[in-house]
Every structure is written in structure tokens, then in C-alpha cells.
């Protein structure tokens, strides 16, 4: 029998009706054997995500000494779910323990993780599957980084004798047993970890959209769904802001070549997007797979005559950024100029100090910081070695009256990034989308 790992996101777990639908999806195929769950998301626009409320519980505990007041929301929300589904579980005992532990905790991670924990407990009872706590199988190192080797060993051993299981996403533990969470959206990573551990044939990631879209639907009306995309393409798109899947979720399954299928809980018959290890075959007119971008970048422009002949010039600038704990996005350069593109957030409150240290390190002729830059990536294996792709992008932007401030293209030719003023962000995405996906 084939093995499928299924991860269901917060919208899929928002209330008893949604959870009942998830149960039907799981039971529709016996191959869906390992289920990874997020905490319940919003039921409507005015509602709250459980994880946000749990963070509030921790913050209230820090201010008032107890999380009792905001924790009432958690109790009511889960009690509604259990009552509607008629799940036989001593929910009050679990909730009492969690409230007590939050009141005694010294970090927010434990509180934040309990939404997934309770979701998995309830679903395991509802499905009559075994509950496997993520604390048993997912490990972080002492410095907080993910321990992939130990995690795979523990998860493989623990799940090897379990035919059907429900596992909470989003968290694991440090060597001392203290709960540690991934970044928000980390349940996607948990699902990928489980898929690798059980040597799954497929990792299904269920969400509220019918696949990965070619562009942001908030900018493009009804963008096309990407039918098939490679790990590498998805990594590029996710990093640049396309948010259907956590960008780190690719790595565990990539090691084992396990495909990921993005599916829609509310339209399960849709095929969704298949994410595969190798570049899918492209038709002649399928140059571009998708377009994604992000705002709020800045550029540090450094000018110095004869810079190109000065050994270690770029290294010294990078050393300054390292001193301040700053990672950069791009570093385009000329004979006497070097630009460093980085998130504007790194400069807030310390821009003058950073500039002063760069001046001290390299004695430039001039240094200027420009804000308000947006980066847009046009991604696709189909662009590789195809003549005229870049020309089409820049012609489309010229027609849209968009000034390009920066250009970056790797030697793989799978990604062309342009930097534009933030005010031109939406116009840039629309122009590129219409060039490659618009009706001819």
C-alpha cells in the first residue's frame, strides 16, 4: 500500500464543519496514513487565529501573572469543536494542564504550540488514529537550529510500527525537552519531515486554494494555477513572497525526491499543483512558471575610484554587515560602484551607525542609501537558454512606464529579478504577467 502524508492548514481546521470535511478527505483514501495538523485558523474576518490568541495568553501572563482571562477563548473554541464532533476526550483536564504550564513558562513557544497539540489530540480521537506528539520526534539543537539528522532517526523509529497516526505540526523540542517552534507556517515543515521519515510516496499539503498560483491574486484577477513546478522553482517563488507553502518545507522531501501536491480542502476534486524534484517538461510557449515579489528593500550604494583593483573591498563591506547581523539579498556592482540590496528593517534605528562603519572599513568616495525598493522575480526552467525572455520583460515594463532600478540574473537563467520603486510594484507584476500569461 502506498503511503501519503497529509498536512492540513489552519483554515482547514477552523471549526467542526471544516474538521469533519478534513476527516472525509482522509478517509476517502486508505493511503492517507499520517496526518499533520495546524491550529485552527479564523472562522471569519472578525475572528482570531488560535495561535495568535495563545501568544496573547503568554503576553498576558507576563504582564498579569496569569493567562486565565484570554485563555477562556481557547477553552470555548475547542469545547465547541469537541461538542459538535461528539469526540470523547477529557478536554478540561488537558486545558487545565496547558493553562498551568503557560503560567509557569519562560518563553512563548510552549503556549504557541498548544493549538497544534490540541488539534491533533482531538483529530486522533475523531479518526481513531494513534496520536504521536511532535515533541517525541522533532528535535532542535541547543542553539535553536533544526537537527535534521536526529529528527529523521527519531521520527522513522517512532512511526515505523504505526499504521495510521496524527501528529501536531509547528513544534519540536530542544535537547533539554523544552518546546521549540518553527517560524510561523512551520506546520508545512513538520509535514515534510514526517513524509521523509516514513518514505512517503506523496506529501499532500491541504490549504484553502487550489494550487500554487502564477502570481499574487490580490494583484492579478484569477491568475492561472501552476500545474507542475520543480523544487527549485518553488523555492525561488516562496522566498520572494509566494506564501502557499513555507519555503523551508521543501528541504526534507527534496532529500528523498518525494513530490508535494498542493490541494484545496474546500475543493478536493481539484488536481492542485504538483511539486516535483526535477524540472518538468515545458512547451515552447511556457517560458515562465510564476512571478512573485516583495517590498521594503533598501540599497546601500558605495562608489570609489579603482574599486575593482582593490583587493578585499567587497569582503570588508560584507564584514560590516556581518557585525550587525545583516544578510543581504543582492550585490550588483560596476567598475567603481557596488550596491548592496537588503531588507529595510535591518537599517531601522541604526542606519547611520552602519554607514559610518562602512566608511571606516573602505573609505569610499561616496555612500548613499536609497529606500523604497521592491524586488520582483520572474521564475521558470523554461527560460533556460531561450533567446529573448529578458527582452520581453523589459519591453513590457517600458510599455508600462516602469523604471528598472536593478537587474539580477543567475547563470542558471531560471530567475530574472528586477528592482523597482515600491510605487511601481503592482504595475510591474501586472506588466510581466500580461506579457507571459495574458490572452493573446
What integer pLDDT is reported at residue 440 of this predicted model?
46
Q: Are 256 and 199 in contact (CB under 8 A)?
A: yes
pLDDT tens across 101-133, in order?
999 999 999 999 999 999 999 999 999 999 999
What integer pLDDT is reported at residue 60 of this predicted model?
97
What integer pLDDT is reported at residue 409 of this predicted model?
77
**Parts of the chain with a pLDDT under 50:** 283-284, 440
What integer pLDDT is reported at residue 410 of this predicted model?
66
* Overall fold of domain 290-437: VC0802-like (3.30.2130)
What integer pLDDT is reported at residue 145 of this predicted model?
94
Pick the CATH number of 4-276 from 3.40.50.970, 3.40.50.170, 3.40.50.720, 3.40.1160.10: 3.40.1160.10
What integer pLDDT is reported at residue 385 of this predicted model?
65
Q: Domain boundaries in the chain?
A: 4-276, 290-437
pTM of the model: 0.84
Amino acid at each position: 500500500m502506498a503511503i501519503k502524508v497529509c498536512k492540513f492548514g489552519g483554515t482547514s481546521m477552523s471549526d467542526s464543519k471544516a474538521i469533519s470535511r478534513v476527516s472525509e478527505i482522509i478517509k476517502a483514501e486508505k493511503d492517507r496514513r499520517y496526518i499533520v495538523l495546524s491550529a485552527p485558523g479564523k472562522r471569519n474576518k472578525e475572528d482570531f487565529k488560535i495561535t495568535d490568541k495563545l501568544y496573547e495568553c503568554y503576553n498576558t501572563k507576563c504582564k498579569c501573572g496569569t493567562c486565565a482571562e484570554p485563555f477562556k477563548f481557547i477553552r470555548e473554541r475547542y469545547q465547541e469543536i469537541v461538542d459538535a464532533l461528539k469526540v470523547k476526550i477529557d478536554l478540561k483536564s488537558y486545558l487545565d494542564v496547558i493553562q498551568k504550564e503557560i503560567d509557569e513558562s519562560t518563553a512563548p513557544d510552549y503556549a504557541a504550540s498548544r493549538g497544534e497539540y490540541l488539534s491533533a489530540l482531538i483529530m486522533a480521537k475523531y479518526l481513531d488514529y494513534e496520536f504521536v506528539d511532535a515533541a517525541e520526534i522533532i528535535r532542535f539543537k541547543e542553539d535553536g537550529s533544526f537537527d535534521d539528522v536526529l529528527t529523521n532517526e527519531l521520527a522513522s523509529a517512532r512511526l515505523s510500527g504505526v499504521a495510521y497516526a496524527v501528529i501536531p505540526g509547528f513544534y519540536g523540542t530542544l535537547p533539554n525537552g523544552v518546546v521549540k517552534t518553527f517560524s510561523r507556517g512551520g506546520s508545512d515543515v513538520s509535514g515534510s519531515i514526517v513524509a521523509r521519515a516514513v518514505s512517503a510516496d506523496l506529501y499532500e499539503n491541504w490549504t484553502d486554494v487550489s494550487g500554487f498560483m502564477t502570481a499574487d491574486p490580490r494583484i492579478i484577477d484569477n491568475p492561472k494555477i501552476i500545474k507542475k513546478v520543480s523544487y527549485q522553482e518553488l523555492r525561488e517563488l516562496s522566498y520572494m513572497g509566494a506564501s502557499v507553502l513555507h519555503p523551508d518545507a521543501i528541504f526534507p522531501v527534496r532529500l528523498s525526491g518525494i513530490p508535494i501536491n498542493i490541494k484545496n480542502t474546500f475543493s478536493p476534486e481539484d488536481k492542485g499543483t504538483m511539486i516535483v524534484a526535477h524540472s518538468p517538461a515545458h512547451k515552447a510557449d511556457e517560458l515562465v512558471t510564476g512571478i512573485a515579489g516583495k517590498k521594503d528593500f533598501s540599497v546601500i550604494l558605495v562608489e570609489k575610484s579603482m574599486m575593482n583593483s582593490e583587493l578585499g573591498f567587497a569582503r570588508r563591506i560584507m564584514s560590516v554587515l556581518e557585525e550587525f547581523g545583516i544578510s543581504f539579498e543582492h550585490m550588483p556592482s560596476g567598475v567603481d560602484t557596488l550596491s548592496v540590496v537588503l531588507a529595510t528593517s535591518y537599517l531601522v534605528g541604526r542606519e547611520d551607525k552602519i554607514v559610518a562603519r562602512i566608511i571606516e572599513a573602505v573609505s569610499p568616495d561616496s555612500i548613499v542609501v536609497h529606500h523604497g525598493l521592491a524586488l520582483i522575480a520572474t521564475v521558470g526552467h523554461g527560460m533556460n537558454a531561450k533567446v529573448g525572455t529578458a527582452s520581453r520583460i523589459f519591453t513590457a515594463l517600458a510599455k508600462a512606464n516602469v523604471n528598472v532600478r536593478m537587474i539580477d540574473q543567475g547563470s542558471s537563467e531560471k530567475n530574472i529579478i528586477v528592482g523597482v520603486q515600491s510605487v511601481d510594484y503592482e504595475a510591474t507584476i501586472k506588466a510581466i504577467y500580461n506579457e507571459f500569461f495574458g490572452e493573446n
